[in-house]
Amino acid sequence: MSKTSVQPVPNVMGRARGPRGFGGPVVKARDRKGTIKRIWTYMRKQKVAIISSIILVVLSTLLGLLVPYLIGVIIDEYIIPKNLNGTLKLLTLLATVYILASIFTWLQTFLMVRVSLQTIRRLRQDLFDKFQTLSLRFFDKRTHGDLMSRVTNDIESLNNALSQSVIQIFSSILMVSGVAIAMFLLNWMLAIVSLLIIPLIIFTTKKIIKYSSSNFIKRQRDLGELNGFIEEAISGNEVISLFGQEETTFKKFDVVNERLRQSATAADTVSGFLGPINNFINNLGLALIIGVGALMTVEGFATVGIIAAFVTYSRQFFRPINQLSNLLNTFQSAIAGAERVFEIMDEPSDLQDKKNTISIDSFKGDVAFSNVNFSYEDDKPVLKNISFRAKAGEKVALVGPTGSGKTTMINLLMRFYDIDSGEINIDGRNIQDYEINQLREKIGIVLQDTFLFSGTIMENIRYGRLEATDEEVVAAAQMASAHGFIKHLPGQYETHIMFGGSSLSQGQRQLLAIARAILADSDILILDEATSSIDTKTEIEIQRGLDQLLKGRTSFVIAHRLKTIESADRILVIHHGELIESGTHEELLAMKGFYHELYESQFTI
């Protein structure tokens, strides 16, 4: 769990992450017009559906404008003269208009929901694809919960706005314009009276939107922070219980939760003023229309039917204005969410293929580091002037104290990060000359911290090579000594395991990871403490299989148990980011240096 002092958190590759907050960087408002334009670039791919919706909106609006006029005609020409047949005919026509308007409204809603879902699907896909292009450096600076919040909450907020609000905005504007024209055609004096309260509505709406905008952005940020905290609490539940930190975690959650409550309350309270205030203004306008209309009717400037039509028109006039006010609030939340999504999509991909990369079928495995320097943070070097060469087929071991830079060297070889200076070559070519995907496909790796996906054991092993047959999967499991425990599971290779493989022991998970790497059959193999969670007997069995696998392949083995790397062709001793010793096991012992001290500390009493 993140502490107030902000302790480093190890990532999946074993390196300590730098300080971070619960939800990453504070979200700042961007150009809203630019954000809306970017949203439109996704929506315009469905022009046919949008145009169809607009046509339906126009039809339903025209029918809606016809209703008050028919009501006025019924009152003046049929109800007051007591013409029952005419009244029934007009009421039938009025009912037909209502039914058609309802059908058109349903159709336009149906189309816009489809447009919204297609738009959100593409946006979510682009965001997910963007995640795949970002380096570990990006993920080191942000909590997984905050990133999940952008994929789920922020995009869903935009989805709600698009499916419910976009077409309503057009409908509201069209209705307001049509009602204004109809009122002027009926009675221009009453129309002017009706429009007198418009400036008051605009003024109050503008003021409330101004104060609520920043609160909506803060609410989205605080929601991301809360999700980040929850993700850490669930992932680290075992550690929390182990150290008895439940009460501390409760208190920290209460602080983050309260922060979200305050920002959400501020956003919703301020925006919530719109409804009551506009209702009061609407009722004020309605009273004004009725009062002035009554005087005009007495003086003979209007009829009862016209007054009734105006009352209906006034409700049609003010309702969309109220809707526009509320829709603007909805859009404040949606735009804030969209900005957070586009912030990720605008993140520069610091690891990209060069224009003229070369394609490869396989590596011979000749690896060379030349004067490599690297730092995760400026002015804090992790590797300093590292130079060595691993010939094709050699087994190279990396040893040294925790935090000395061993795993970092592997991260650089895999191009999870790019070096600050120097050069890393494979088969005489800079690794930046190869396509990143091809480079990583040719290098197999088994991590100390094993990750398993939700699915069957067969599927998890086959992840190393998707086209592998069932027989090849079983053979890889046998070589990794995983077959023994798999065949005793209820479903054997079809046994379903949960996300992360929590139903298996750490040692069993590591065996599956080794089987996955064996199945991948990579040209270069990396073992990062691959047998650290396995008992000694099983480790010896696995080592036999790995020895067969490593024949003819360049391999890098990170190990703290020095007994496991005595047979390595070369051992590199890393200390404080520097390569201080290099040689075979016997040569290093004879040097009586740092390696000798490490070895003696493990094997002497």
Dig out the tokens for 368 from the structure. Answer: 């060379």
On the question of pLDDT at 8 being above 50, the answer is no
pLDDT at 277: 75
On whether residue 588 sits in a domain, the answer given is no
The alpha carbons of the chain give a radius of gyration, in whole angstroms, of 35
As a whole number, mean pLDDT of residues 369-378 equals: 84
pLDDT at 24: 34
The answer to whether 473 touches 462, Cβ cutoff 8 Å, is: yes
pLDDT at 242: 62
On the question of pLDDT at 181 being above 80, the answer is yes
Least-confidence region, from 279-283, 420-424, 534-538: 534-538
On whether residue 486 sits in a domain, the answer given is no
Q: Which of 280, 226, 235 is nearest to 253 (CA)?
A: 226
On the question of pLDDT at 15 being above 60, the answer is no
pLDDT at 16: 34
On the question of pLDDT at 591 being above 70, the answer is yes
Q: Which of 428, 451, 441 is nearest to 512 (CA)?
A: 451
pTM for this structure?
0.58
On whether residue 328 sits in a domain, the answer given is yes
pLDDT at 548: 65
The answer to whether 220 touches 337, Cβ cutoff 8 Å, is: yes
What's the mean pLDDT when you consider all of the chain?
A: 76
pLDDT at 532: 61
Q: Greatest CA separation found in the chain?
A: 120
Dig out the tokens for 292 from the structure. Answer: 């002035």
Number of separate domains in the chain: 1
pLDDT in tens, 429-473: 888 888 877 888 788 877 766 777 778 888 888 888 888 888 888
On the question of pLDDT at 168 being above 70, the answer is yes
On the question of pLDDT at 345 being above 70, the answer is yes
The answer to whether 516 touches 475, Cβ cutoff 8 Å, is: no
3-state SS assignment for residue 526 = strand
pLDDT band at 255; cut points 50, 70, 90: confident
Single-letter code of the amino acid located at 247: E
3-state SS assignment for residue 602 = helix
Q: Which residue has the higher pLDDT, 218 or 88?
A: 88
On whether residue 457 sits in a domain, the answer given is no
On whether residue 179 sits in a domain, the answer given is yes
As a whole number, mean pLDDT of residues 181-203 equals: 78
Q: Which residue has the higher pLDDT, 234 or 185?
A: 185
The answer to whether 599 touches 589, Cβ cutoff 8 Å, is: yes
Beta sheet of 429-430, edge-to-edge order = 380-390, 367-377, 421-426, 429-430
On whether residue 36 sits in a domain, the answer given is yes
Q: Report the share of the chain in percent with pLDDT over 70.
A: 82
On whether residue 247 sits in a domain, the answer given is yes
pLDDT in tens, 387-397: 888 888 888 88
pLDDT at 13: 36
The answer to whether 440 touches 412, Cβ cutoff 8 Å, is: no
E strands present in 335-415: 367-377, 380-390, 395-399
pLDDT band at 6; cut points 50, 70, 90: very low
pLDDT at 568: 81
pLDDT band at 326; cut points 50, 70, 90: low
* CATH number of the structural domain spanning residue 146: 1.20.1560.10
Place of tokens 């809203």: 32
**CA separation for the pair 230, 227 (Å, rounded):** 5
pLDDT at 12: 33
On the question of pLDDT at 56 being above 70, the answer is yes
Q: Report the share of the chain in percent with pLDDT over 90.
A: 0
Dig out the tokens for 383 from the structure. Answer: 């590797």
**CA separation for the pair 530, 534 (Å, rounded):** 9
As a whole number, mean pLDDT of residues 492-511 equals: 77
Single-letter code of the amino acid located at 394: E
pLDDT band at 23; cut points 50, 70, 90: very low
Single-letter code of the amino acid located at 23: G
On whether residue 603 sits in a domain, the answer given is no
pLDDT in tens, 36-47: 788 788 877 887
Quote the domain boundaries for residue 183.
Answer: 32-345
pLDDT in tens, 528-580: 776 665 666 666 666 666 666 677 788 888 877 777 777 788 888 888 888 88
pLDDT band at 184; cut points 50, 70, 90: confident
pLDDT band at 240; cut points 50, 70, 90: confident
* Residue partners of 600: CB distance under 8 A and separation at least 6: none
Helices (H), ranges, 134-187: 136-140, 144-149, 155-164, 166-186
As a whole number, mean pLDDT of residues 242-249 equals: 72
Q: What string of H, E and C letters represents the secondary structure of 260-285?
A: HHHHHHHHHHHHHCHHHHHHHHHHHH
pLDDT at 72: 78
**CA separation for the pair 584, 569 (Å, rounded):** 6
pLDDT at 601: 76
* Residue partners of 83: CB distance under 8 A and separation at least 6: 77
Single-letter code of the amino acid located at 351: L
Q: Which of 435, 426, 424 is nearest to 373 (CA)?
A: 424
